[in-house]
Amino acid sequence: MPTFVKIEEGKVDKSTFDQYVAAHKAYIQELIAKGHKAKSGYWSGFGGGMMIFEAASMDEAQAIVARDPLVKNGCVNYKLYEWKIVAE
């Protein structure tokens, strides 16, 4: 399956953002259980983060991102890319 990357930056205050972190983590666990090999984290030293996961297509990847609690609740701006891995 292709690999996708969501690069995000926060757009709400930390207390609002933090209200949705537990739901976001639970969502990542759901994606893992469904075989999407999802990982999520934040940048050290400045705001924002990244989610990496597998999906069958860009359409499926967009749907996955749209269901992320951080996106659904307006906590982040993001860009979604298909990542073409050239070496492992």
pLDDT at 23 over 90: yes
Grade residue 88 by pLDDT with cuts at 50, 70 and 90.
confident
pLDDT at 44: 82
List CB contacts of 49: < 8 A, sequence separation 6 or more: 8, 40, 41, 42, 43
Strand partners, 4: 53, 82
Q: Find the mean pLDDT for residues 58-78.
A: 97
By residue range, what is the domain housing residue 30? Answer: 3-83
Q: Is residue 54 part of a domain?
A: yes
Domain count, the chain: 1
CATH number for position 31 = 3.30.70.1060
Q: Is residue 66 part of a domain?
A: yes
Q: Is residue 74 part of a domain?
A: yes
> pLDDT, tens digit, for every residue of 29-62?
999 999 999 999 998 877 789 999 999 999 999 9
